[in-house]
Each structure stands twice: as structure tokens, then as C-alpha cells.
Amino acid sequence: MSGIGDDFPQEGGHMSSMFGRIVRTSDPRRPYTAILTHDQCAETQSSFATMREAEDFIRRNTPRPRPRSTFWDREAPED
């Protein structure tokens, strides 16, 4: 498995995907398939040997979600 900072092969355009998901397949060598959904073209698929590789692929090819406000994540004030 490649380490952090290694060059990755051409993956079809970074950040061109809206979101991704992982499905389990019956292939014993590459049982995880990452499916990327694009805004203006068909979905793309890539198979991986481990769930971690599939997750990393999705992270590299989809935008990070915006940080969520934690303003409401606190106890109610006491009167």
C-alpha cells in the first residue's frame, strides 16, 4: 500500500465528484468497489482490496464537507 505523500495514478480528475460510496462485491481479490457520483457525467467505479483503500480514494476525489457550526451543541442556559 502506498504511503502518505506518494503520487497516485491518474484517477480521472480530482474533486470532479459530488460524493462517493463503497459496496462489497463477490471478487475475492478486490472485494470493495468505490462508486463516485459526478455532477455532469456517469458514475465511475474503482475496485480495491481493502475498505481503507476505497475510503482513501473517495477522500482524494470528493470535496471535504464544510465545517459544521457547534453553536447549538451545548447545554441549555439555566434560568
For 8-58, the DSSP string reads PPP-S-TT-EEEEEEEE-S-SSS-EEEEEEESSS--EEEEESSHHHHHHHH
22 in a structural domain: yes
Query: Is 67 inside a domain boundary?
Result: no
Question: Is 57 a member of any domain?
Answer: yes
The mean pLDDT of 51-74, rounded to a whole number, is: 87
Assess if residue 2 is contained within a domain: no
pLDDT band at 12 (very low <50, low <70, confident <90, very high): low
Is residue 21 in a domain?
Answer: yes
Number of compact structural domains in the chain: 1
Which range of residues forms the domain containing residue 55? Answer: 17-61
Q: Which residue has the higher pLDDT, 27 or 79?
A: 27
- Considering only CA atoms, which of 57, 38, 37 is closest in space to residue 46? 57
pTM here is: 0.64
What is the predicted pLDDT for the residue at 9? 56
Is 72 part of any domain? no
